[in-house]
DNA sequence: AGTAAATTACGAACATTTTTGTAACCGCGG
DNA sequence: CCGCGGTTACAAAAATGTTCGTAATTTACT
């Protein structure tokens, strides 16, 4: 997603939220403050480089806050900003919408038996 | 966005809506039925191949409906399904949220003079 | 006690994978 | 011969992953 093609706030917002990780990260941060390594452990499928990049992007967008503590061992904490918190119900709504549209359809192919 | 890392409906929904085009297309279709070439003209920055792909993805997701008319010259019409229509206010909400978070901040670098 | 190794949170270089674009082609009618 | 609405093959670009290195402190081991 290199650049925008319009000045639509929807497009701008989706550029930040659009990828695979942003909503996931927001969801993990919903539970409260997390350290970088916590987030790494929470979703091991994201590389630390991308995790860093995504967190920075969310930080720059004003969705998460990064708090770097001085001492050693290093400690950096991430949590949602107030704006990030207000976003949560909105992406929740999209989840609900999707769930209503595709009721319990498993996209991946697991759990084939529905009525046992 | 190759595959999902969770069975979260939010992630599944975002996988469909996530790119640059889906929300744009939904917005153009909000105005009513459009032909393929209309959509091409509406956003000339998308290649026709990707437009086809995106439209098909949205169709498969149940967001847009594709109606192929028989005769010649060819005529294919696209419009939002009821589910697609219910989605509109949700992505609107995201746009509003973003706008509230970044009030008239131009992300691109244009109109530098704010207080003339 | 002294040294190697792990942890912590990254940054940078390079490799791979995924996405998007380009160009050509299709059948057919105006 | 172009336009409609695509599809296919190939090419470019973008996203993501992998690996190595950093600074300082704790832990592990001998």
Q: Which residues pair with B66 in a beta bridge?
A: B78
A12's tokens: 């701008």
Q: Which residues pair with B76 in a beta bridge?
A: B68
Q: Residue A23 in contact with residue B10, Cβ under 8 Å?
A: yes
Q: Residue B17 in contact with residue B92, Cβ under 8 Å?
A: no
User: Using CA atoms, how far apart are residues B69 and A99, in angstroms rounded to an integer?
Assistant: 32
Structural element, H or E, at residue B16: helix B9-17
Contact B87 A97 (CB under 8 A): yes
Reply yes or no on whether the pLDDT at B109 is more than 50.
no
CB of B52 lies under 7 Å from some atom of strand D: yes
Q: How far is the CA of A48 from the C1' of C3 (A)?
A: 29
Contact B98 A13 (CB under 8 A): yes
- Confidence (pLDDT) at A113: 41
Q: How many Cα atoms are found within 13 Å in the side-chain-facing hemisphere of B58?
A: 31
DSSP line for A55-101: HHHHHHTTSEEEEEE-SSS-EEEEEE-HHHHHHHHHHHHHHHHHHHH
pLDDT average, residue stretch B45-51: 94
Least confident of B53-57, B68-72, B74-78, B97-101: B68-72
Q: How far is the CA of B74 from the C1' of C8 (A)?
A: 61
Q: How far is the CA of A73 from the C1' of D27 (A)?
A: 13
User: Using CA atoms, how far apart are residues A43 and A20, in angstroms rounded to an integer?
Assistant: 11
Hey, where are the domains in chain B? 9-101
First to last CA, chain A: 44
For residues B34 and B2, the model is more confident at B34
- Confidence (pLDDT) at B13: 93
Residue in A with minimal Cα distance to B18: A18
pLDDT band with cut points at 50, 70 and 90 for residue B105: low
Q: Residue A84 in contact with residue A64, Cβ under 8 Å?
A: yes
Q: Which CATH architecture has domain A9-101?
A: Orthogonal Bundle (1.10)
Reply yes or no on whether the pLDDT at B93 is more than 80.
yes
Q: Tell me the pLDDT tens digit for each residue of A3-38.
A: 776 778 998 999 999 988 999 999 999 989 999 999
Contact A14 B20 (CB under 8 A): yes
């Amino acid at each position: 997603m290199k650049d925008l093609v319009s000045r639509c706030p929807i497009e701008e917002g989706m550029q930040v939220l659009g990828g695979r990780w942003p909503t996931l990260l927001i969801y993990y941060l919903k539970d409260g403050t997390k350290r970088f390594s916590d987030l790494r452990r929470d979703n091991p499928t994201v590389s630390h480089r991308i995790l860093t990049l995504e967190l920075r992007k969310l930080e720059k967008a004003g969705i998460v806050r990064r708090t770097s503590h001085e001492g050693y061992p290093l400690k950096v904490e991430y949590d949602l900003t107030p704006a990030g918190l207000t976003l949560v119900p909105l992406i929740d709504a999209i989840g609900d919408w999707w769930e209503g549209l595709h009721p319990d359809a498993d996209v991946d192919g697991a759990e084939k038996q529905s009525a046992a």
